[in-house]
Amino acid sequence: MDFLKHISIPIGLPLFLIVGSLIAHSRHKHKSSQSKTMEDFFERERLANSTRKQDISHLDYMVLDLSLLPMGKTQDPSIKILEDTLTELSQKQILDLSDKSNTDLKMMYGPANLDTLWECDDNYHALSLTLLEYAKGLSDLGFSREAITVLEYASSLQIDISQIYLLLAELYQKNGCPEKISGIYAALDAMDENFRSYVLKHLESSHAGE
């Protein structure tokens, strides 16, 4: 409590008054800090809302290459639905904007682009979940190698769903190629530090003693 260094406390002042004084000072400081934070937020939001519409055609949109996926391997209805979803997504713009707030997006590209950017981000999350379910479905049907292909492709896109990497490691083990797990570590090196740490922790715990 650094603020104690700057408070002069009279000798002999009752303890409850001293404590009350310190609490009041702390609350005042906290409220002042909150007020400043809110002012900064509203000022940034005001600036973001006044940003002109920017050209977003140059953004690093994700390209979904269906030729790299085991499409049509089975006529299972649930797999067919997932493949149809992937086909639809391959024709849409996809962006991972999970590390950006609405204010960030408006500040960078203008509020007029916000709905389009939201849609691109929604497409990313739809792609992420669809690839995971596609791999799970193929694995459940006995198509382990095809499931691995899907998960490796998701990994190459740096999809940030931990189950993708954990399931891939599990399938590598089951299919007698544990040496490929090193490729998962390499893929994680290029990803967000918090996400990487989370996945590595679970990878190490799940394969401890093997």
Give the C-alpha separation, 72 to 177, whole Å: 25
Q: Which residue type does 85 have?
A: T
DSSP 94: -
CA angle 144, 125, 42 (to 5 degrees): 155
- Tens of pLDDT along the chain (210 residues) come to 444 444 444 544 456 565 566 666 566 655 556 666 777 777 888 888 889 999 999 999 999 999 999 999 999 999 999 999 999 999 999 999 988 999 999 999 999 999 999 999 999 999 999 999 999 999 999 999 999 999 999 999 999 999 999 999 999 999 999 999 999 999 999 899 999 999 999 998 766 545
DSSP 3-16: GGGG----TT--HH
Predicted TM-score (pTM) of the model is: 0.78
| Alpha-helix runs per DSSP H in 64-161 | 77-89, 102-109, 114-140, 144-156
pLDDT at 27: 65
- CA dihedral sign, ordered 104, 107, 112, 113: negative
Residue 141 contacts residue 108 (beta carbons within 8 Å): no
Q: How far is CA 73 from the centre of its chain?
A: 30
Three-state DSSP class for 203? helix
pLDDT at 24: 66
Angstrom distance (rounded) from CA 67 to CA 198: 31
Q: Which CATH architecture has domain 66-206?
A: Alpha Horseshoe (1.25)
In this structure, which amino acid lies at residue 98? S
| Closest C-alpha among 74, 90, 96 to residue 140 | 74
Give 194-199 contacts, CB < 8 A, sequence gap 24+. Answer: 195/160, 195/162, 198/162, 199/162, 199/165, 199/166
pLDDT, position 41: 73
Domain ranges of the chain: 66-206
CB 188 within 8 A of CB 173: no
Q: What span, in angstroms and rounded, lies between the C-alpha atoms of 202 and 163? A: 10
Q: Provide the pLDDT for residue 101.
A: 92
Q: How far is it, in rounded angstroms, from Cα 125 to Cα 15?
A: 57
Q: Based on C-alpha coordinates, what's the Rg of the chain?
A: 26
